[in-house]
Structure 1
Amino acid sequence: MTSRRCSDAKVIAHAVRSHWAIENDVHWSLDVSFGEDQCRVRVNNAAQNFATLSSIAMNLLRQEKAAKDGLEIPRMLACANDRYLAQLLGWQAFQTI
């Protein structure tokens, strides 16, 4: 094996490990905050749809500047407080009916 091939292999190995580190971080966040591993959605495209909605919700929660202790507290707050949920969703004029 030449030194160039060895160098290329190291670069590729680093890229693969970096990719999986990101994937594992996202999966861990979804599992801890949303209980993704416990989800039993299995009908047609429901599992993929649910995963997409969970990812969107996670990204919205991560953009929240006040949430420094993780996603669980802001997620629960969004469930309990309509104004906070509207703020997360970027709704400017929110009025309760």
Structure 2
Amino acid sequence: MTAKRECKGKVTEETRYFISSLDATDPKRLGQIVRAHWGIENNLHWVLDYAFDEDKQRARIGNSDANMAIVRHIALNLLKAEKTSKVGIKTKRLKAGWNETYLLKILLGTS
């Protein structure tokens, strides 16, 4: 798959290779599937970076970076499951830090 990117007026192009068990007889469909997958991945990364400032995390000793990534994913899933507050993930996270009752509602999954 060839990918084009424009940044600050400069266009770059690169070839990307993928390994898949999908049928490669329809390259257009395969390209759509790959783009959809990376759209989901990029969206998840954006939410984690916006709500948890993940890009600034500096845990680097042993497995601490992987462990903290798991904790952030668990927290994200708990926050997404909480449906009574109609605000974004970042606001829910902050609200849970300020309000122990709301934090317990998230952790216990109660309405």
Q: TM-score range, shorter-chain basis?
A: 0.7 to 0.9
Which aligned segments of 4 or more residues in structure 1 are displaced greater than 4 angstroms? none
Shift of 1:70: 1.2
Unaligned runs of 5+ in 1: 93-97
The answer for the alignment partner of 1:35 in structure 2 is 53
Q: Aligned partners of 1:27 and 1:62: how far apart in 2?
A: 15
Q: Is the 8 A contact 2:96 2:103 kept in 1?
A: yes
Q: Aligned match of 1:52 in 70, 73, 94?
A: 70
Q: Is the 8 A contact 2:82 2:109 kept in 1?
A: no
* Pair 18,63 (structure 1): closer, same or farther in 2 beyond 3 Å: same
What is the aligned-residue identity percentage? Answer: 41
Q: Aligned partners of 2:46 and 2:87: how far apart in 1?
A: 15
Mapping for residues 74-93 of structure 1, pairs under 5 Å:
74-90=92-108
Q: Aligned partners of 1:60 and 1:18: how far apart in 2?
A: 24
Aligned residue identity for 1:82: E
Q: Aligned partners of 1:86 and 1:25: how far apart in 2?
A: 27
Deviation digits for residues 1-43 of structure 1, max 9, x if unmatched?
A: xxx93xx101111110000000000000000000000101101
Corresponding residue pairs, total: 87
> What is the TM-score with the length of structure 2 in the denominator?
0.72
Specify the SS of the correspondent of 2:83. Answer: coil
More strand by share: 2
